[in-house]
Amino acid sequence: MGLAWEGVVVVVTRPIPQLPELGAALLSAAMALPCVMGAAHAESAPEKGTLSFKYLNYKESQQVTNDALGGYGRADSKSGASAFDDRIRVKASASSLVVPLNSEWAMSGTLITDSISGASPAYHTQALSGMKDFRRAVDTSITHYLPSGTVTVGVSHSGENDYVSRAVSLIATKASENKNTTWTAGLGINRDQISPANQIVFNETKRSSEVLLGLTQVLTMNDIVQFNLGYYKGQGYFSDPYKIYDERPRDRTQQKLQSRWNHHFSELNGTSRLAYRYYTDSWGIRSHTFDAEWVQRFGNGWSAAPALRYYTQTAAKFYVEVDPRLSPFPASPPPNALYFSEDQRMSAFGGLTMGMKLTKQLNLDTKIDVKLEQYGQKGVWILSGTGSKGLAPFYARSLQVGISHSF
């Protein structure tokens, strides 16, 4: 899972202990490799350097059981019971610098710090356990601009109390003679080390690699489309040591297909951005993501971008499908089962994100922006079939502010 900002490459190697979708959705490229944004590059280095700063405040909450039947809903005001339990809170900042070295070379780097605190369910949506952690991550890359393409090499390092990750990446782009078509190919390799505070395991490792192939095509003066294919393969420790009854396979493969279409409406001075992503993996999870965004430009440097995103996934084949409201204790794994998990992130559900971004161009070199997103998740919101039963509705709110300056 990734927690990141628009326009800033961030690799979060250890999942925030809840839903990955909201944090990850802040990445504009769902197919991004470690240290690499999945966008096509220009064929010349930027004329100016750019310094950017982003701040992200993320908060989760989940409805609590408040009736005799174990249902979820708003509490009776007379009882004084709270309708929601706060879960994970994240406060993060990112500083990014892009510096052109000459007309053919440019370097970039990002420093990220985030503090994570709150509580996470030990199984399903029950038995909250407290947590607190601090993470620092850094990545850097260098890009060589060729007459008809680019080559970028990147490295990154992320560390916290119980998780250390290192990554390298290589991505190349090739443009057609008329510059209307751009092909992209990339490779990313991660090496992670896991030593949880509860000492369930010690010095476990996880290794993974990912391949990206992409095509960006300019169709008309107002239309551009992009297609990406991604393949991921990982081996090592994938279980969550902070969950009860959580034993996952030590290997995982993922396949991703993503398409994008941007259309500019000249008469409205606005742009529609539509995207779809299909995901499947060896654990049995299948997901669909639909994105729609409208970017409206106004006078005096103002622009607004409302967005809507729908996400749905099936459950992992080893997810323990038991209604947690029927018992105060975690369900025992099925007899003779090699793999099992009662982690809500492995369940079947649907999620809806609504967002709004406002941007103000202060002058030719400086702009500021603020973005607010609200996420909701329920089992019954799954696209087809029946979602996992008995899980409390989950919500998350994300506020992001940023400033960038060219020099």
pLDDT tens track, the chain, 407 positions: 333 344 433 333 344 333 333 333 333 332 233 443 334 445 678 999 999 999 999 999 987 654 433 454 444 444 444 466 778 999 999 999 999 999 999 999 999 999 999 888 877 777 777 788 999 999 999 999 999 999 999 999 999 999 999 999 999 999 999 999 999 999 999 999 999 988 899 999 999 999 999 999 999 999 999 999 999 999 999 999 999 889 999 999 999 999 999 999 999 999 999 999 999 999 999 999 999 999 999 999 999 999 999 999 999 999 998 777 776 677 788 888 999 999 999 999 999 999 999 999 999 999 999 999 999 999 999 998 888 888 889 999 999 999 999 99
> Is residue 9, in this structure, part of any structural domain at all?
no
Domain around 54: 21-406
The three-class DSSP label of residue 324 is helix
- Would you call 301 helix, strand, or coil by DSSP? coil
Which helix (DSSP H) or strand (DSSP E) does residue 212 occupy?
strand 204-220
Residue 72 lies in a domain: yes
In a domain? residue 13:
no
Tell me if 315 is assigned to some domain: yes
Number of domains, the chain? 1
- Establish if 285 belongs to a structural domain: yes
Instruction: Provide the whole-model pTM.
Output: 0.86
Measure the CA angle with vertex 26, ends 10 and 216; round to 5°.
Answer: 85
In a domain, 209, yes or no: yes
Reported in sequence order, the residue ranges of 42-180 that DSSP labels E, i.e. its strands, are 50-63, 84-100, 105-123, 126-146, 149-159, 163-175
Residue 143 included in any domain: yes
Positive or negative torsion for Cα 281, 286, 289, 290: positive
Contacts of 366 (CB under 8 A, 6+ apart): 403, 404, 405, 406
Structural domain includes residue 5: no
CATH number of the domain within which 201 lies: 2.40.160.40
Q: Is 390 left (phi over 0), alpha (psi -120 to 50) or beta?
A: left
